Structure 1
Amino acid sequence: MMIRLIYFFITVIVSGFAQAGVTPWIPFELENGHIKVPATVAGLDSMAILDTGAQGNAINQNFIDHHKLPLAHNGNIHIKGMHNTERKKLYAKVDVNLFGIETKLSQLAGINLGDPRNSLLIGSGFFSQFVIQIDYPNSRMRMVTRDVIDVAKHENIKTQRHKASGLPIVQVEMAGKKVWLLLDTGSNGGVLIGRRLAKGLDLISPNDTQVTSQGVNALSEMRTTQLEELTFGPFVLSNVRLTYPEKGHKLSQFQQYSHASSAIKGKKVKGVVGFDVLKHFLVTLDYARGHMHLSVPEKL
């Protein structure tokens, strides 16, 4: 249903811009690093979060409980968060109005999205349909058809689709080492990596600040410090927030993809890059094909 919804939305919007194949700029809210757009769910006004790091769509269990919604429950699913994996309910035939298009969504996992004003988390089904431009400094976004722009020709940061999950991963450089990270608009931090890697890069100090991280399933104790430099495509950023697990806590890692019939393996993903890095850029992302271009827009 989500794919049909987005396809219809793009068809309707782009039809007025047939020659250009580009939607108008759509404003969004940035709250705690999350991209939010208005949505009506079960007749209630709310906000939907757009998340490149999510393989599917989800509904906020707090939203359901707060409004005491009698939504149909049609099974369960195991959701892998950043800190652990939990079994969650699946909801079906939920009335949704997103971008002015009314539909019913099914296979919505019930997860914790905090504030009950947040209703939905929209993942890969949305991003895969087109090239998306996210202008963080100006809090706006638009969709572009692939016949208008070939992002691969303009790519200025190494980007791929993770072979096992299909999610976008990018190569960065920190402390002299090149590392593959998940590109995650749903993460409000800077760079999140495992403790073992942080130790190997000599990035751990006893003076690092202890923080609590909220994943979709659970809380985890973490430590945070500052990266002196992060090379992100053609840009070098200073004093980027780096987070890693406290001793005795773990970060869920992507499994390295491999197939019995092939000697080719996927990239080892070591963590996540999020809002604290992305906030500087106009991100042009071809999610389905794994290509990205970064630029710094003028502030409107």
Structure 2
Amino acid sequence: MIQRRSRKISCAKLLLTGGVLLYLLLVLAPLVHAQRFEFSGNRKKQSIPFILVKNLIIIPVYINGKGPYNFLLDTGVAQMIITDTTFLDNLDLKSAKTVKVQGYGFGDNIEAVLTRNVSAKVGKAIIKSIPTAIFKKDIFDLSNYLGIKIYGILGYYFFNSFKVKINYYTNKLTFYAPDAKIELKGNRIPIQITGGKPYLTTQIKTDDLGDIEVDLLIDNGSSHPLMMESLHDKPFPLPAKTIYANLGVGINGIINGSMGRISAIKLGTYTFNEVLTGFPEYNIGRSTMEGRTRNGSLGSDILRHFIVTFDYTGGFLYLKKNNNDVPKFEHDMSGLEIYVIQGIKDRYYIGRIEVGSPAEEAGLQVNDEITAINFVGVVHYKLNELTEILKDRNGKQLLMEIYRADDKHVMLLRLKKRI
């Protein structure tokens, strides 16, 4: 069991390795493939900086000529999604349709307004009519989770319009017109686009199964390294050592499962070892909602080690290693999750504590406000830095200064590598 703060960060795109797992399995209006972002004039490419928070890419987007608004750039979604409910009042939605959205999770369906009466602009590229889902309730609460105001999520229509290069090392996004003459560098891996989402076939290795071929959704909007859900229409076999974990949230609610490791995953000529992996509880209806079967998903905690280029129309993914570091995949060693209440000074609270974790043993509780760690005020940290502190080193001791019901407490938290 996992405790969670009601309707706050627990109902946002929740954790995996301190990051965010997004499962937006939307059954919405059909994709209109003719609609694309386009440059005006003779422009063939553009580069813009992005903000990287918990492995997630945040870019500025103009909506109907206003903005810029912070959007997640996410290969795991098809229709553009607006999560900020104020857009329901600010956009002309006379011809919009309200539907209940079915998703991958547990809970009630969520209402969303569907419209094409929206234009979007990224850099100098614009799309005049982009299929958009505007949720009537901000179920993800991404702003508090990421510590920066988030208005929505942009996916397929951007990636399908360009060749898109993501440099995680320099935080630079470069996008090229389809007819631009460029040399795409790196390992070339075939991908298939189904329902507006990219998939690849590759090999993984487990202690019990050895080398097996798997189909994976490429989901850079999820900060996990890897998720394995099914094999031969049955739950994916768990490794010998796992811990129970809250793996994320879908449209309908919490996704539970286990956290463990697989021996290796191969991507082109690259191999990653001892990869931290989530194993969601098997959902037999997921393939029906997605429109195809798959074994799991590849997340940004692996992709961030590359310069990644997506070529949807050509049907390839290009991966070029951005450094010679040997990747290490570590799970959170505290057992707590932090969310942010934004203001003049951001305030940091505990939104979730795993049963039997170091955080529970230390006496920390959900809704405690964290004010200092090792006598350094949290105002001196960014959320990314706090996340890294909580998975820093097995056995490391942290003095946590917290406020609970206006009373100050100092508690000793000893980090523990649990998987």
Structure-1-length-normalised TM-score: 0.75
User: What is the aligned counterpart of 1:273 among 295, 298, 303?
Assistant: 298
Which residue number corresponds to residue 415 of structure 2? none
- Give 1:268 deviation, angstroms: 3.6
Which residue number corresponds to residue 81 of structure 2? 58
Return the alpha-carbon distance in structure 1 between the equivalents of residues 290 and 78 of structure 2. Answer: 16
DSSP 3-state at the match of 1:64: coil
Return the alpha-carbon distance in structure 1 between the equivalents of residues 287 and 233 of structure 2. Answer: 17
Higher relative contact order (CA closer than 8 Å, sequence separation 6+)? 1
Q: How does 1:225-264 map to 2 (within 5 A)?
A: 225-246=260-281, 250=283, 253-255=286-288
DSSP 3-state at the match of 2:213: strand
Larger Rg: 2
Contact kept, 8 Å, 2:36 with 2:161, in 1: the verdict is no
* Structure 1, unpaired ranges of 5+: 259-266
Q: How does 1:73-92 map to 2 (within 5 A)?
A: 74-77=96-99, 79-83=101-105, 86-91=110-115
Return the alpha-carbon distance in structure 2 between the equivalents of residues 178 and 194 of structure 1. Answer: 14
RMSD: 3.6
Specify the code of the residue in structure 2 equivalent to 1:277: I
- Note closer, same or farther for the CA distance 1:168–1:95 as it changes in structure 2 (3 Å cut): closer
Return the alpha-carbon distance in structure 1 between the equivalents of residues 274 and 102 of structure 2. Answer: 30
Return the alpha-carbon distance in structure 2 between the equivalents of residues 280 and 288 of structure 1. Answer: 24
Which residue number corresponds to residue 89 of structure 2? 69
Structure-2-length-normalised TM-score: 0.56
Contact kept, 8 Å, 1:128 with 1:288, in 2: the verdict is yes
DSSP 3-state at the match of 1:276: helix
User: What is the aligned counterpart of 2:199 among 169, 190, 197?
Assistant: 169
Which residue number corresponds to residue 37 of structure 2? 6
Return the alpha-carbon distance in structure 2 between the equivalents of residues 120 and 2 of structure 1. Answer: 21
- Note closer, same or farther for the CA distance 1:257–1:123 as it changes in structure 2 (3 Å cut): closer
Percent identity, please. Answer: 20
- Note closer, same or farther for the CA distance 1:121–1:2 as it changes in structure 2 (3 Å cut): farther
- Give 1:282 deviation, angstroms: 0.9
Equivalences, count: 274
Specify the code of the residue in structure 1 equivalent to 2:314: R
Contact kept, 8 Å, 1:226 with 1:241, in 2: the verdict is yes
- Note closer, same or farther for the CA distance 1:37–1:113 as it changes in structure 2 (3 Å cut): farther
DSSP 3-state at the match of 1:69: helix
Which residue number corresponds to residue 72 of structure 2? 49
Which residue number corresponds to residue 321 of structure 2? 296
- Give 1:178 deviation, angstroms: 0.8
Contact kept, 8 Å, 2:46 with 2:176, in 1: the verdict is no
Deviations 1:2-28 (A, max 9, x none): 976721xx345xx35xxxx4x243211
Specify the code of the residue in structure 2 equivalent to 1:6: F
DSSP 3-state at the match of 1:49: strand
Contact kept, 8 Å, 2:50 with 2:59, in 1: the verdict is yes
Which residue number corresponds to residue 49 of structure 2? 27
Return the alpha-carbon distance in structure 1 between the equivalents of residues 268 and 133 of structure 2. Answer: 34
- Give 1:128 deviation, angstroms: 0.8
User: What is the aligned counterpart of 2:172 among 125, 130, 140?
Assistant: 140
Specify the code of the residue in structure 2 equivalent to 1:241: L
User: What is the aligned counterpart of 1:282 among 275, 298, 307?
Assistant: 307
* Structure 2, unpaired ranges of 5+: 1-31, 144-148, 206-210, 325-419
